[in-house]
Structure 1
Amino acid sequence: MHLYNPFKNFRFDNNTCFLSGQPLQSGDEQIQVFPHWLMRKFELEDKPFKLLDESIRTYKQLQLPCATAIAERIAEMDLRVETAFNNGYKAVRQIDRLLLFQWVARMVYGVVFNEIQAGIRQQMLSGEAMNFSQVLAHKFKNLHLMLQSLILPMQFDGGMPFTVLIFEVDNDGQTFNYRDEINTLVYSLRMNDVGIIVCLQDNGTNGIYHREFVEKVEGRCLHPIQFEELCARFFYSAYLFNRLPEYTVLPTDEQVYVEPMPLADMSMKPIFDPWQVKTYGQVLENFWKPWGYTLFEIIKDPENPMSFLIDGEGSPVSGSTINLPKA
């Protein structure tokens, strides 16, 4: 089994398949970063997408060079995910977690690929050397490796390298709320009657960290403000996660074996940095923007920051009792 690592020679041109590394026959061999069905459904094609260098693209301008056979495999995955989302929460719950990871990873890595291309162009214009974080290169290399499970038989031993959570959310019919944070590789999406949170490279630790909250809302239909509160918790803990996961990778003739290495290190330091209520409040204020809650209101009682997920006794709040717009 041959694994492709574009970070080895920093190859991010449009003549090489982004996933397999094979040379492309023509400039037409490209796919969209965001699935066609998603862009059509929410009329995203011509909406602006801001890159880190402040340049603006439209959603449909974000593309990936991709060999035809691999584009077909990705189209097949998109169709399966589209069908599930169109059939609602119960159908999405049935999707294999690895497939959902691959679907999200393609979008997140696609954005990363376009960011890197923009950075290379900027560097060529300025004549300065490309300054690329080794930590980010390490994370993105591993994300790209795991995304190759789409095209190569890959077995994950000793647990999955990601967290995927799916919730039923009482969304407004036109809702499309997508966020990603590429530095910490965390992602959320709210649409139809579904909300998903994906930590793309945490070996499942964020799910364990928030287990108490997740178990309390399990099986309940959430009000959007409750789902956004959960997102804030996961986005903040992904920021507090202070390990750089390493993986043992063994390619054989039959398949590739990937095993996460233990996250415990010699320092015995906890895996997550200390939770700071004020910083969490700032994150939550951002996620709750549609409802206008301020940081002052959120952390008025620092021991018990404002929550729509649990009440003062720590019991789960029913989404149907929350009288706020669905936003």
Structure 2
Amino acid sequence: MSNLIIQKADGSVETTSGQTLLFSPERFERDIVQGDSCFICGISRSSGQSFNDEHILPRWLLRKFDLFQSTITLPNNTKLTYGKYTLPCCTSCNSIMGQTLENPIRELCEGGLERVGQFFEKNGPTLLFCWLSLIFLKTHLKDSTLYQTRDRRSGDLRRIGDAYDHTDLHHIHVIARSFHTQSTLRKEAFGSLLILPAKQASGSIQPFDFADLYISKSILLRINDFCLIAALDDSCGALSLFMNDLKRIRAPLEPAQLREIFAHISFISANLKERPLFHSTFDKDGHTVTGSHPSDVQLNDPPTAPFGEFLFAALSNVMQTHPDREQISALIREGKYSFLFDADGNQIDDSVILRP
């Protein structure tokens, strides 16, 4: 008997063999965000299935840059080492994830900007976009396990993730687990993805950088000589509005410049006047994910928050040790400071760029 597709009472879609092709928003919240289930397949820990810890940033990346003891700053301004920055995952999904997603990505990244660019031109954004979606998903599912106040004596039981509307993560979850469901992803299902040349490590420039913003569902990941920046649920709206600025880039970018581009992409994505809608369809060939968006991309006027606030959030780590931190921070928040372009619209020389 062939494997049939059935829709459950809560709106989830499964096969008759028991694989969940699509979690309903309600089930996603209950089982994945708040529950103890594997965030890929949805199986519960109480089922007896073996579980292990999946690192938010993959182990190969932590090894490459010796990050296990380095710390990430959480949204509540506390720190956690990357080595302990993990999320439970069933061993079966963890193994498949390594074989079908992490290993190809690792081999691709070892080739640097040239290989990544060639791969993108030949194969499109699917592999890279799914990987960035997976990292973003794990990052913010982890927030639902972390207390807002680390001191348990305070009696404050709020979690960092309590501040999120997790329905915003639902589409990203669909994309991130597509290696498991073998879903077909149409180009409309993707967001904006930029692959940018990065200044190589020297002196105070580190070879790795990572940042994301939940409000805009955006992520930055820099690995040696290239940087990936994505807005994960804007159906390329941010890229379409920022394209003319991208055409002015002529040289590898400093960390602060990359983070300024990240701020621009985040600002646009968070302020889309009409957000794209994403759809799932099912037939004998399986699950297909697509989307629809307005042909004319417009922004909220006034914006939900000024661009300066996005730039300040993106550059917070860069500003920590700068001697004129307070003065420059004020200018950044007012939208009166740029690390990317001068008054004539030319890319700024790296000699005047702040370094972390």
Aligned pair partner of 1:240 in 246, 271, 277: 271
- Match of residue 213 from structure 1: 245
- Match of residue 146 from structure 1: 175
- Match of residue 23 from structure 2: 5
Q: CA deviation at 1:193?
A: 0.7
Normalising by structure 1, what TM-score? 0.79
Query: Relative contact order: is structure 1 or structure 2 higher (C-alpha 8 Å, sep ≥ 6)?
Result: 1
Q: CA deviation at 1:109?
A: 0.8
Q: For residues 195-249 of structure 1, what are the alpha-carbon distances to aligned partners after superposition, in whole Å with 9 as ceiling and x for unaligned?
A: 11111111100101111111222x6322333323212222333333354542121
Q: Which stretch shows the higher mean deviation, 92-101 or 276-285? A: 276-285
1:277·1:299 contact (CA, 8 Å) conserved in 2? no
Taking the TM superposition and a 5 Å limit, the aligned residue runs for 1:79-98 are: 79-93=103-117, 94-95=119-120, 96-98=124-126
- Match of residue 189 from structure 1: 221
Q: CA deviation at 1:91?
A: 1.2
Q: For residues 112-148 of structure 1, what are the alpha-carbon distances to aligned partners after superposition, in whole Å with 9 as ceiling and x for unaligned?
A: 22212336999xx878999956x72221111111222
The 1:29/1:130 distance shift into structure 2, 3 A limit, reads closer
Unmatched tracts of structure 1, length 5 or more: none
The 1:6/1:111 distance shift into structure 2, 3 A limit, reads farther
What is the root-mean-square deviation of aligned Cα atoms in Å?
3.9
Q: For residues 88-131 of structure 1, what are the alpha-carbon distances to aligned partners after superposition, in whole Å with 9 as ceiling and x for unaligned?
A: 11112224421111111111111222212336999xx8789999
2:318·2:355 contact (CA, 8 Å) conserved in 1? no
Please tell me whether residue 41 in structure 1 is matched to residue 64 in structure 2.
yes
Task: Provide the identity percentage.
Answer: 17
The 1:286/1:62 distance shift into structure 2, 3 A limit, reads closer
Q: For residues 138-192 of structure 1, what are the alpha-carbon distances to aligned partners after superposition, in whole Å with 9 as ceiling and x for unaligned?
A: 2111111122222223233462431110111113154221101123211112231
Q: Take 2:87 and 2:236, find their aligned partners in 1: how far apart are those partners?
A: 28
- Match of residue 42 from structure 2: 21
Return the letter of the residue paired with 1:213: D
Q: Give the number of aligned pairs.
A: 319
1:185·1:199 contact (CA, 8 Å) conserved in 2? yes
Q: CA deviation at 1:318?
A: 6.7
Return the letter of the residue paired with 2:347: V
The 1:318/1:88 distance shift into structure 2, 3 A limit, reads farther
Q: Take 2:142 and 2:312, find their aligned partners in 1: how far apart are those partners?
A: 29
- Match of residue 129 from structure 2: 101
Unmatched tracts of structure 2, length 5 or more: 6-13, 15-20
Q: CA deviation at 1:34?
A: 1.4
Return the letter of the residue paired with 1:78: E
Give 3-state SS (helix, strand or coil) of 2:144's partner. helix
Taking the TM superposition and a 5 Å limit, the aligned residue runs for 1:130-209 are: 132=162, 136-157=165-186, 159-172=188-201, 174-209=206-241
Q: CA deviation at 1:56?
A: 5.1
Return the letter of the residue paired with 1:146: I
Q: Take 2:176 and 2:23, find their aligned partners in 1: how far apart are those partners?
A: 11
Q: CA deviation at 1:272?
A: 3.7
Return the letter of the residue paired with 1:11: D
Return the letter of the residue paired with 1:145: V
Q: CA deviation at 1:8?
A: 1.9
Normalising by structure 2, what TM-score? 0.73
The 1:61/1:249 distance shift into structure 2, 3 A limit, reads same
Q: Take 2:251 and 2:159, find their aligned partners in 1: how far apart are those partners?
A: 51
The 1:73/1:107 distance shift into structure 2, 3 A limit, reads same
